[in-house]
Copies of this chain bind each other. A is one copy, B any other.
Amino acid sequence: MSLIVNDLIEDYVRKKLNNKDSYFDYMEEYAYKHKVPIVQKEVAKFLDMITRIQKPSKILEIGTAIGYSGSIFAKANPETILHTIEIKEDSFKIAEENFKKQGIDNVVQYLGDASQVLNEIKCKFDLIFIDASKGHYQDFFEKSLLLLEEGGIIISDNILYKGMIASDEFVVRRKITIVKRMRSFIDYITTDDRFETSILPFGDGMAITKIK
């Protein structure tokens, strides 16, 4: 059950957004079976669309997981180069296999803690997608700013975290630290005068931030 968008609405929208590419069905089944969190179908489709509209030369993804959203980014524009960071070795390898099986060769994978890896990356990106440890968004974002091309955007996923960020009514006690950090991150991206930020309250909540 979603606390953000009504279940009946989510069901309807997901049914309308069938995958035209069957490998995505396979990855969705795998993720479901192995309880790996991947982006919701309507978020996946939106990431595909925004990538087709922006046509980024280089994308940086923080949090590869099994390479589901990475496959979307890499396939939306074949001329885009995707750089993607993953902390877990098993996920890194599964993603590697998923990219290979789809013939995706426009990907650079990093194995390591994003907080470290981000310090070492030298090139710049038009689109940076943050989808990793929810307690560290502020750090990921600030480091991402240094890697952002002029006119580029940062998309932060899961910023409403099952609704918990919006209302204490939804907060699970053991998540209170993450919730506090995410709330302070949202205040930062929506009030800092250097940024324009749009918040999309669907999926698990996304923010799109652009430097003015």
Contact = CB atoms under 8 A, between A and B. Distances in A.
Contacts of A199: 13, 16-17, 42, 45
Interface in A1-27: 3-6, 8-13, 16-18
Given A190-B16, A190-B17, A201-B13, A196 B8 contact: no
B42 A9 contact: no
A50 interface: yes
A198 B9 contact: no
A117 interface: no
A53 interface: yes
Given A50-B53, A198-B46, A6 B3 contact: yes
A207 to B, nearest CB: 9
Contacts of A53: 50, 53-54, 153, 208, 210
Contacts of A42: 198-201
Contacts of A11: 166
A200 B52 CA distance: 16
A116 interface: no
B198 A45 contact: yes
B198 A166 contact: no
